[in-house]
Amino acid sequence: MHTPQAINKQIYRLALPNIISNFSIPLLGAVDTALMGRLESEHYLGAVGIGGVIFSFIYWGFGFLRMATTGLTAQAFGENDTPECGRLLLRAAGIGLMGSLFLVIFQWQLADMSFLLINTSPEVEHLARAYFHIRIYAAPATLCLHALHGVFLGLQNAHYPMLLTIVVNLVNIVLNLVFVQMLGMKVEGVAFATVIAQYVGVLLAILLFFRRYRGILRGWNIREVLLLSKLKRFLSISGDIFIRTCCLVFSHAYFTAKSAALSDTFLAINTILLQYINLLSYAIDGFAFAAESLVGRYKGAQDLRNLKQTTRLIFLWAFLFAGVILLILACFGERLLYVFTDQMSLVEQAEVYLIWVIIAPVINVAAYIWDGIFLGATASRGLRNSVIVSTLLYFSAIYLLTPFGNHGLWGALTLLLVARGVSLTALAPKYLFR
């Protein structure tokens, strides 16, 4: 059994790079917003925002390519089955390429469906469609990056995903500045920058893979990659993760829709406050990604003692980290509102609901960390069942708390996270520790 000190070192080694890379993600959105927000019409900003939402939904849907691959690769690594790690990469990349081919071929139908669901002005829709039909060609690179990220994390390497995320975002930002500010392009420039950055990222990922891990692809053959039992397991886990992700995406989208139904002011307030929640999830996900890697490794090695020890220590560090974030928000949360808006009336109204954001770190951390642990153990059925039950409670709460207005909405969203954390805690003995 590893000592707590040894496991702590592994947690630091995996969590810190993931936290750093996660915090580089919001920077790209901030630059896109700043560039479009300084053009002559607000329609450009709206178009990039709408386009970003559509692609977030699409790529969240394919998130199983990273999540399932991380857990399965980590388990193969724990079993010292390195050839299976290589076959998992080929399976995930193959499914990603087929999925991206589907997205490119049916891009017009996808666009029509998306804009049917999103009600916007004709001017914004025209620009958002231009953005969509350029950025869609990044799909092969983006989905292959999902697979490569999953394999790297499964092989206990968090530094390569950190490097890739930072490089892709920096290339994207530089190209944004070149295309928009220097060449005078608008939404097309932002879209082209994203496409090029994604292909730079996947090429770098392939180079890094062959530099360090080329040995795991030796001796592979197509028959073993397409082995029915292995494909069935991968697709079964991916299907559970897909259902889980759809529930979460729909829940958050409904929160935004109900905010808009209250008023434009409440939509603006909740959009700002959700930035805090997003930043929190980026921070805690560093520990969740570490959990995926380590739990999968010990699950594969059938090392139950180290799996339990790792679970306890990751929860300890995540709660301590969340406590620090809570103190920062309690002390500086009101001042941080001015980062997102300079409208005094909006800040004053947002302060009324800031309490939900302040308590979020310690409330949400259990759901985030259990997610990583269940994914590492590929206990996808328990993860799926937990989210389905929690989502039903969430929609029931929204219905019951409607008389309380925006506080009711935040109460329902908080209940969603509490329910996920409690239900996964209850399911852990059955799915993880036997």
Q: List per-residue pLDDT tens for the chain, 434 residues long.
A: 667 888 888 888 888 888 887 776 656 655 665 566 566 665 666 677 777 778 878 888 888 899 999 999 999 999 998 888 888 999 999 999 999 999 999 999 998 988 887 767 787 788 888 888 999 999 999 999 999 999 999 999 999 999 999 999 889 889 988 988 888 788 888 889 989 999 999 999 999 999 999 888 876 778 878 888 888 999 999 999 999 998 998 888 788 778 777 876 777 777 778 877 877 888 888 899 899 999 999 998 898 999 999 999 999 999 999 999 889 888 887 787 776 666 677 778 888 888 999 999 899 999 999 999 999 999 999 999 999 999 999 999 998 998 888 899 999 999 999 999 999 999 999 988 87
Would 25 be classed as within a structural domain? no
**Residue 433: what pLDDT?**
82
Task: State how far the Cα of 367 lies from the Cα of 48, in Å rounded to an integer.
Answer: 31
Given 202, 226, 250, the domain boundary residue is 226
Which pLDDT score is estimated for 26? 59
Distance CA 393, CA 412 (A): 8
Is residue 337 in some structural domain?
Answer: yes
- With both helix axes pointing from N to C terminus, report the angle between 264-300 and 304-340 in degrees, rounded to the nearest 10: 160
b or e along 36-45 (b: 16 or more beta carbons within 10 Å of the residue's beta carbon)? beeeeeebbb
- Whether 144 and 190 share a structural domain: yes
The per-residue pLDDT for 35 is 64
Torsion, CA 179, CA 183, CA 189, CA 195, rounded to 10: -50
Tell how far CA 434 is from the center of its chain.
Answer: 29
Looking at residue 42, its pLDDT comes to: 59
The two tokens of residue 322 are 């969340």
Residues 188 and 302 in one domain: no
Verify that 213 and 321 share a domain, yes or no. no
How far apart CA 63 and CA 82 sit, in angstroms, is: 23
Query: How far is the first Cα of the chain from the last one, in angstroms, to the nearest whole number?
Result: 17
- Whether residue 47 is found in the same domain as residue 196: yes
- 290 with 220, same domain: the answer is no
From the list 422, 401, 425, the residue with the least C-alpha distance to 413 is: 401
Question: Do 425 and 277 fall into the same domain?
Answer: yes
pLDDT for position 38: 60
Phi/psi for 343 (5° steps) reads -85, 110
Residues 191 and 276 in one domain: no
* 232 within a domain of the structure (yes/no): no
Quote the pLDDT of residue 415: 95
In a domain, 34, yes or no: no
Per-residue pLDDT, 31: 62
DSSP code at position 62: T
What domain range includes position 312?
A: 1-12+239-434
Position 7 in a domain: yes
Placement of tokens 């949360």 in the chain: 333
Look at the chain and report how many structural domains it folds into: 2
pLDDT of residue 5: 83
**Position 20 in a domain:** no
Q: What pLDDT is stored for residue 228 in this prediction?
A: 85
Is residue 90 within 8 A of residue 168, CB to CB? The reply is no
- Residue 26, domain member (yes or no): no
Query: Checking phi first, is residue 346 left (phi over 0); if not, alpha (psi -120 to 50) or beta?
Result: alpha
Q: Where a domain ends, among 226, 259, 282?
A: 226
**362-387: b or e for each residue (b if 16 or more CB lie within 10 Å)?**
ebbbbbbbbbbbbbbbbbbebbbbbb
Euclidean distance between CA atoms 46 and 49, whole angstroms = 5
Does residue 331 form part of some domain?
A: yes
Six-digit token pair at 162?
A: 């950190």
Statement to judge: residues 221 and 303 lie in one domain: no
Note whether 277 and 420 are same-domain residues. yes
Say whether both 419 and 303 belong to one domain.
Answer: yes
Of 205, 226, 247, the one marking the end of a domain is 226
Whether residues 4 and 84 fall in one domain: no
Does residue 378 sit in the same domain as residue 271? yes
Yes or no: say if 148 and 209 are a contact pair by the CB < 8 Å rule.
Answer: yes
Lookup: tokens for 25: 């993600």
